[in-house]
Structure 1
Amino acid sequence: MRILFFTPYIGFNYGGIPKAVEELASAIGKLDASVDVVTTDANNLEKISVPLKKWIDKKNYRIIYFPCWNRQDFVISIPLIIWLCQHIHEYDIVHCHTVFAPIVLIVDWMCQYRHIPYVVTPHGMLEPWALSYKARKKQIYYNLLEKAALQNANAIHVIASLEASNVRSLGFQQIVNVPNGIHRQEFEYLPEPEIFYQQFPITRNKSLILFLGRIDPKKGLDLLAPAFAKVHDKFPQTHLVVAGPDNIGFMTTVQRYFRQAQCLDAVSFTGMLTGNLKSAALAAANLYVAPSYSEGFSMSVLEGMASGLPCVITNGCNFPEAAIAQAAYVVDINSDAIADALIHCLSHPQQAKAMGDRAREFIFQNYTWDRSAEKLVQVYQAIISRNSLTEYFAISSNSASNG
């Protein structure tokens, strides 16, 4: 089976989508499938420094980058489109990542014209909050173009049960629910926190609350600022670490949130953390927080839980299974609820640690890339064989509850 992954961008300045694409490609490539990833050199306000228009071998897959013109996440690449016109017929199935992108729409149209089955992963872009952000433009684009492309897709791949419900409410039925995952071995033994303390000495000897994510309006940092101010007033030894890239120049606004809440001095903005430094930050942290208004299915939430951290996440993170398993505090999307949950964790450290231990085991059992890859390959095979997807949806959506 020859599988083409298409994504307009794979630079890590775009957040969790690029990591999900690469991890899925690698995991599926281990399962007797040939996976090619086609993308551009876009990296938000920058470009990725890579060889262009030539295949690069990765672990279990290969990738090719094309030059493009882009403005943040709006990407156009004529060389890429020409290449697809010449080669898309060589694949058994095409898997497109993200929506509301004209270049993805062109790929969808090519698949329809060539009668090649295709799958679309919205990555949370069809969630109510995401649709309401810049709503007028999205409504016009959706009604004129995106809706038909999604209706013609052989499957819409969602990554959370609530996302499945929200996409179904838009009138789509061909939905498969296969969540993101982690590599268990990366979280079984975290490095020493000292690596992080040396890089950010102000965090030493503090109770660290860790936020991992892009500096973006949907991440709820406007809620986290007053929530953390309330926490810091009660627990002066706490320190908030905001770790993530500023893709859209939103940092000045975010810093103003914390300045107005009078707790900016107790916050460290580290920029994006990767590799050992990111793992050391997870090891150094006492709590993890995700105050998001909307997520598809957050990679960083999985990483926080897999690290054994007590986690406070909003119901915008689309992870009710974590609450059912008593593996995280899932709270309403408001600053008081976030603050109260963080204060409860700090006030009851043994109870919080027990929840972190449950979280770690819950993620290890249910949310790994190998499991996700196996389910997606089943979906691809069913589509290519023109079988019903109903049983695959049932397997995928029930995976966490079945353990």
Structure 2
Amino acid sequence: MKVLHIIPSVAKVRGGPSKAVIEMVKALRSQNVDAEIVTTNDNGKDLLDVPLDILTDRLEEYGNVPIRFFSRFSPNLNAVREFAYSGALTAWLWQHITDYDIIHVHAIFSYASTIAMAIARIKNVPYINRPLGQLCEWSLQQSKLRKQIYLNIIERSNLLHSQSLHFTAEQEREEFHQLGLNIPNFVLPHGVHIPEPIPDAQDKLRQILQIPHQIPIILFMSRIHPKKGLEYLIPALSKFQDSNFAFVIAGNGESDYMNQIQDLLEKHRISDRTHLVGFVNGETKNLYLQGADLFVLTSHSENFGIAVIESLAAGTPVLITNGVAISPMVKEQDLGYVAQLDSEAIASTIQEFFEHPQVAKQKGDRAQQYIAEHYSWAKIAHSLINIYAKYAKYTKL
């Protein structure tokens, strides 16, 4: 079976969805599925330094999976640049999309995804779409009029002709049902790699940050974006001026917004205990996840929350908000804390963590075992293969 994954960008600045598609393809290929990725060289305001128009599987940064990059139109106008138009990608899809048995499209409201679904419809190639939370209520409220027009004129027909929609959490599917679109769908989460334990991770992280051993570390690790709710988390943390803790922000964002966050840290008088460490990856990322005492993600909306799962896999309890789609699972399995997106509610939960650190550790220990049993990439890939077989042009694997 030949499977083509299409996504507007695999750049790190685009966050978890970009990483997920690479891991998904890698897991599928480990089970003898001929899976590839087509994308653009989008890198936010910049462009990736990658080979264009050819298939390569020798880029370690992108998992050494087969991937084709095509040039993205890059005007200074942000709205046009974000749309990620690519004429070269369009021409290639028109010529080659019928070479594949099924197309797995990631995202909507973006040129690469939209044109892929349109061409697949014309060429009668079956496709499924993973909307990346863009059909959730919070996302649809951003640039609301533009998205309503786009959805009604263009994307609705693309979605209605898809074989199925791929949601990564039940909460994401429930929000989609509010739109009243009768489209087959399934829920299949992302997988996660269980990291090798790092001996004395907490001591090593405190040495790097130069903080005393007994001070708890609260870790925020995500793309720095207004969606992530730092405007609620920072005021919540400011209520603990008399408590000893360190706050780590690991991630990158647009420079203007990063400046806003730094101003907010100053305003709430916690900049002196905050460590802005930028984007972390690989062994360094694992060290932060394993060395922290509490992982926090106070988002308005997350269709899954890859960093949350990674934290749980590392055995670190999480504090997330109801907008994170896996919050029902975290609450039901008692793997961490779930709070309303409100500074007072977040502060109250942090207080509970401070007062009962042993309970938090028990949640983390429970989380590590649960994630290993239910979220391995091998298990997710096996389920995805069965879904492909149901919809593909040829079902022989």
**TM-score normalised over the length of structure 2:** 0.92
> Does 1:174 pair with 2:187?
no
Question: Shift of the alpha carbon at 1:194?
Answer: 5.8
Could you tell me whether the CA contact under 8 Å between 1:131 and 1:138 is conserved in 2? yes
| Range 378-387 or range 189-198, more displaced | 189-198
The CA deviation string for residues 16-68 of structure 1, in whole angstroms up to 9 with x for no partner, is 11100000000011222101111111111222222222211266841111122
Unaligned runs of 5+ in 1: 388-403
Question: Shift of the alpha carbon at 1:173?
Answer: 3.2
2:381 is matched with which residue: 373, 380, 390?
A: 373
1:314 is matched with which residue: 305, 313, 321?
A: 321
Q: What is the percent sequence identity of the aligned residues?
A: 32
1:164 is matched with which residue: 159, 162, 173?
A: 173
Between the aligned partners of 2:212 and 2:86, the Cα distance in structure 1 is 43
Between the aligned partners of 1:272 and 1:281, the Cα distance in structure 2 is 11
Residue 48 of structure 1 aligns with which residue? 48
Q: Which residue type is aligned with residue 346 of structure 1? A: F
Could you tell me whether the CA contact under 8 Å between 1:214 and 1:247 is conserved in 2? no
The CA deviation string for residues 55-112 of structure 1, in whole angstroms up to 9 with x for no partner, is 1126684111112224463211111111111111100000111111123111111000
Residue 392 of structure 1 aligns with which residue? none
Residues 204 and 271 of structure 1, relative CA distance in 2, 3 Å threshold: farther
Tell me the secondary structure at the aligned position of residue 264 of structure 2.
helix
Residue 331 of structure 1 aligns with which residue? 339
Could you tell me whether the CA contact under 8 Å between 2:86 and 2:111 is conserved in 1? no
- Give the alignment of 1:227-376 within 5 angstroms: 227-230=236-239, 232-235=240-243, 237-247=244-254, 249-319=256-326, 320-376=328-384
Tell me the secondary structure at the aligned position of residue 285 of structure 2.
helix
| Range 370-379 or range 204-213, more displaced | 204-213
Residue 218 of structure 2 aligns with which residue? 209
Residue 66 of structure 1 aligns with which residue? 70
Could you tell me whether the CA contact under 8 Å between 1:195 and 1:277 is conserved in 2? no
Residues 73 and 191 of structure 1, relative CA distance in 2, 3 Å threshold: farther
Between the aligned partners of 2:389 and 2:152, the Cα distance in structure 1 is 31
Residue 140 of structure 2 aligns with which residue? 131
Q: Which residue type is aligned with residue 31 of structure 2? A: L
Between the aligned partners of 1:20 and 1:191, the Cα distance in structure 2 is 29
Between the aligned partners of 2:70 and 2:212, the Cα distance in structure 1 is 41
> Does 1:36 pair with 2:36?
yes
State the number of aligned residues. Answer: 384
Question: Shift of the alpha carbon at 1:386?
Answer: 9.6
Could you tell me whether the CA contact under 8 Å between 1:27 and 1:369 is conserved in 2? yes
Tell me the secondary structure at the aligned position of residue 256 of structure 2.
coil
Tell me the secondary structure at the aligned position of residue 167 of structure 1.
helix
Between the aligned partners of 2:261 and 2:115, the Cα distance in structure 1 is 36
Residues 275 and 194 of structure 1, relative CA distance in 2, 3 Å threshold: farther
Question: Shift of the alpha carbon at 1:168?
Answer: 2.0
Could you tell me whether the CA contact under 8 Å between 1:212 and 1:243 is conserved in 2? yes
